Structure 1
Amino acid sequence: MLVRRVGDSGQAFPAYVAAVAGLLFIAFVYFAVGQAASTRNEAQTAADAAALAAAQDAREQLRGRWLEVLADPTQWDQILRGDGYLDGPACQRAADLAGRNGAEVVADGCVRLAEGGDGFEVTVRTTGTIGRSIVPGTESQHVTASAEAVIESDCTFEVPDPPTSPAPTETPTEPGDEEEAPEPTVGITCDGEVWDIDLEDIDPEDPALPDADDLFTVRLTG
């Protein structure tokens, strides 16, 4: 005769249901953690892009200022040290890049670095939320992130001495025997590459002049 133990089967079923429920709960928790991590990564990507964009815009402004005073090397040093750019256009560029990456710059979230060099600190907030999950409140939770980008000069140069008049001589100089004055040029060295700039033949549109990324390096610092 075949005998079945019905009681053992009935006891196993609740345990099976509890195990499945536990596994589903763990899966939902991992999903919620993954959602939050993904949103944090998106926020940090947007902050990095925005900070770099602000610093790059400032770098372009500095090159423009340098081209304006190209014929006067005495003004180069101030510009190559990072003086002469406006925050407004740079921060607008930061806002544009943040928007392209699903975020927005928070109020007063684009500022010059207080210390550590020229550049910007940008703080953004995701326009989207983490989304609904097993964790209460995530459907309305935004994520903020910050990044810093610096502008560093890559160039050195020496301001040429002003030309001096030759000392008068007792012997008159025959026509055509006068020594020609050397052409006023300035050599500017950027990251090991040298440009000789003829101060008497200035052309700001000359494509051979150093670009903004030759003059300055832009990089993230935090």
Structure 2
Amino acid sequence: MTGRSRNDAGQAFPIYIVMVAGLLFLVFAFFAVGKASALRNGAQGAADAAALAAAQQNREDFEAPFLASLPGDMLEQFLQAHAVYGCPAAKALAAANQAKLTGCWPTLGGHRDQIKVEVKGRKPVDSSVIPRTKRMYAKATATAIVEFRCPGWKALDFNDDGVKDLYIFNCQGAGMVEIAPGSPPPWSEVSKILYDVHLVDN
């Protein structure tokens, strides 16, 4: 009886080892999946921040050409044909969020410009149980919009000399703003009323 019990125990030991090894594999696999998910979320956050930074940089860069277009009543021409850029700001924000900017595509859209970015996380998944993860990095894309939300405006020429002295903008959902080209208010204040910056689905 004792010999049989020892024999049964000896046969069960390899099965126990296999079960423990299987459980350990599952634990490491779940850990790798969780790490990959966390890295993916981090990359998406970096992409969102980079796209928004690029859009906000564009809004800031609009100040000089926007104001220069007002006296000669050339605002609509500016809105339809202006530079759209912001990739340096996107690159900086991606780096600040542990990611690398791998693509940046600004698109002129008149009253509604678009900037799409792509980033790659700097940390690999690097799982010991899943092959080829040492070079597997999380990637994500995001798209931001810079939208001029004041389609209706009045341009007033007090002296009838062909030079506009005052613009009154009625901006959807943001209120009203007045800009005198000769003494404009701080751009940091009026730009947030004139232009909306937000993320959109890719």
Same fold per superposition (TM over 0.5): yes
Which residue type is aligned with residue 151 of structure 1?
V
- Structure 1's 218 and 188: CA in aligned 2 closer, same or farther, altered over 3 A? same
Percent identical residues: 35
Matches within 5 A, 1:140-151: 140-151=135-146
Query: Who wins on radius of gyration, i.e. which is larger?
Result: 1
Indicate conservation of the 8 Å contact 1:62/1:82, yes or no: no
Secondary structure of 1:22's aligned partner: helix
Gaps of 5+ in 1: 165-182
How has the CA–CA distance of structure 1 residues 78 and 10 changed in structure 2, closer, same or farther, with 3 Å as cutoff? same
In structure 2, the gaps of 5 or more residues are none
Using the TM superposition, give the Cα deviation of residue 163 of structure 1 relative to its aligned residue in structure 2, in angstroms.
6.4
Q: 166, 172, 178: which one pairs with 1:196?
A: 178
- Residue type matched to 2:190 in 1? D
- Structure 1 counterpart of 2:196: 217
CA RMSD between the two structures: 3.0
Code of the residue aligned with 1:75 in structure 2: it is M
CA contact (8 A) 2:108 2:114 kept: no
Matches of 2:33 and 2:58 in 1, distance apart? 38
Asked whether the equivalents of residues 66 and 76 of structure 1 are also in contact (C-alpha less than 8 Å), the reply is: yes
Closer, same or farther in 2 for the Cα pair 1:128/1:150, shift >3 Å? same
Q: Give the alignment of 1:26-65 within 5 angstroms.
A: 26-65=26-65
Aligned length: 194
- For 2:23 and 2:32, how far apart are their aligned partners in 1? 14
Q: What SS is found at the alignment partner of 1:143? A: strand
Given residue 84 of structure 1, which amino acid in structure 2 is its aligned partner? H
User: SS at the partner of 1:213?
Assistant: helix
Task: Report the residue type matching 1:85 in the other structure.
Answer: A
Q: Is the aligned partner of 1:153 residue 2:173?
A: no
**What is the TM-score when the length of structure 1 is the normalising length?**
0.73
Q: 5 Å matches for 1:16-165?
A: 16-72=16-72, 74-79=73-78, 81=79, 83-87=81-85, 90-106=86-102, 109-113=103-107, 117-155=112-150, 156-160=152-156
CA shift for structure 1 position 192: 4.4
The 1:208/1:12 distance shift into structure 2, 3 A limit, reads closer
The DSSP-based 3-state class of the residue aligned with 1:128 is strand
Q: CA deviation at 1:124?
A: 1.8
Q: What TM-score, normalized to structure 2?
A: 0.80
Structure that is richer in strand per residue: 2
User: How far does the alpha carbon of each residue in 1:88-122 deviate from its partner, in whole angstroms, 9 at most, with x for none?
Assistant: xx11111111111112222xx11123779412111
